[in-house]
Structure 1
Amino acid sequence: CKRYNIKGKQYLKTLDKYYAVDMGMRKVLLGSKAMDAGHILENIVYLELLRRGYDVYIGKVDDLEVDFVAMDDKGMTYYQVSATVRDEKTLKRELASLQSINDHYPKILLTLDDDPEMEYAGIRKINAVDWLLGK
């Protein structure tokens, strides 16, 4: 997945990020010790965005990273992915990159937390399973 400078609206030529096409192969290659729910969820969201027809990039805003910038002919949507944000420090960290973007495109935080959908100054926090199922 290539990187995209959100402020400069340009593609970056360095530091591509790689995702597994087959999560079973990931387990075979990395073993069960590498079973980090957050990274696996991020991989699944990346594959789902591609399946939904988006061009997907890793976003860069100054020193912060946005997990995904999903673009199509209607515009773009920013996604941040975390297994859980119930810890206040984690929530602040995950929201920081999305809060630093000053445009009108949707910003979504996907988590596995089984909480009602919430909004933080225009950033929607959605359960990732519901999002995957199209709810």
Structure 2
Amino acid sequence: MISGSSASLLKQEYSSLLTGRNLTFKIFPLSFKEYLDFLKIDYPSINTLVKNKIIHALRDFFETGGFPEVFFKEKEIKHLLLKEYFDDIIYKDIVSRHNVNAKKISDLAVYLLANISNPFTIRKIRNFTGLSIDSIKDYISYLEEAFLIETINYFSYSIKESMQRPKKSYALDSGIRNIASFAFSKDEGRLAENLAFIELRRQEKEVYYWKGQGEVDFVIKNKDNLLTAINVSYTDKIDEREIKSLLEFKKEFNKTKELILLTKDTEKQEQGIKYIPLWKWLLE
């Protein structure tokens, strides 16, 4: 068994030596289920007390993420350790391997991590960083290879349109994202959406986003080619636009089989939309 934090380390340097004798597995940080196991919270038996513990644990999970070593440290040490992880990824997994400018790749990483869930264009990043278009594309691929971020495309049956539209980026660990971008509780909505993305990727879903009059956070293209549209609304009061955008998507795409709205605590089914609390969805 060979393990490492860099995708290219495994795929490019070892797979060629083990042709026909290798399988690659992508290991994510702790899932929320696993995090609750570490806390010894018995989530299969949910009562009011357990539910409150789960919701409190979710807030902590937003902040510190899912690296096992971080879980066992005191709060001050958690932040130091997460900063060390971020620096190691930048300097050891990217700078030393690809011989790129450390400040520029770090600035780009911070920009993408701070703006998780927001659509971005290469041109916009060029204006922010001063990097060339080719360099930006290379740098983003290095950040993805190092498992710091993942990007998703716009959903369209036209490959050209899908590739030409803005992309969205997500962090593969919210703890590293927070420490790198100096953002915590005020970003709860973005962190909820990011956590939903990580879970979808853990399940190996094919994930996109879509934007019409409204925006759909995630479009899942299922193996049967039917579509699932998901919005995340982690607020006390659900914005009407979250509902309208899901209904707009269903009207636009007749292969839509399921509409899901992940909420803070609302659970119901209405207008063909399944409302599920995020914490409960993560435990399914």
- The alpha carbon displacement at 1:86 in A equals 2.0
The equivalent position to 1:111 in structure 2, one of 241, 259, 263, is 263
Distance 1:16 1:34 in 2: 25
- % identity of equivalent residues: 33
Q: Once the two structures are superposed, what CA deviation does each residue of 1:97-128 show, in whole Å capped at 9, x if it has no partner?
A: 11112234100000112x3x212210111111
Show the counterpart of 1:86: 237
1:133 aligns with 2:280: no
Show the counterpart of 2:21: none
1:58 aligns with 2:209: yes
| 1:79–1:110 CA contact under 8 A, matched in 2 | yes
Distance 1:80 1:127 in 2: 12
Show the counterpart of 1:31: 182
Show the counterpart of 1:68: 218
1:4 aligns with 2:155: yes
* SS of alignment partner, residue 32 of structure 1: coil
Higher RCO, 1 vs 2 (CA within 8 Å, ≥6 residues apart): 1
Distance 1:24 1:76, change over 3 A: same
- The alpha carbon displacement at 1:76 in A equals 2.1
How many residue pairs were aligned? 125
- The alpha carbon displacement at 1:64 in A equals 1.9
Letter in 1 for 2:283: L
Q: TM-score, normalised by structure 1?
A: 0.83
The equivalent position to 1:21 in structure 2, one of 147, 158, 172, is 172
Larger Cα-atom Rg: 2
- Structure 2: segments with no counterpart, 5+ residues: 1-151
Letter in 2 for 1:132: L
Q: Once the two structures are superposed, what CA deviation does each residue of 1:46-89 show, in whole Å capped at 9, x if it has no partner?
A: 111111121000122x33210000122132211000112525xx
* SS of alignment partner, residue 260 of structure 2: strand
Distance 1:99 1:125, change over 3 A: same
| 1:27–1:35 CA contact under 8 A, matched in 2 | no
**More helix by percentage:** 2
**More strand by percentage:** 1
Letter in 2 for 1:26: R
Distance 2:236 2:241 in 1: 9
- Structure 1: segments with no counterpart, 5+ residues: none
| 1:27–1:34 CA contact under 8 A, matched in 2 | no
* SS of alignment partner, residue 68 of structure 1: strand
Show the counterpart of 2:244: 96
Distance 2:180 2:186 in 1: 11
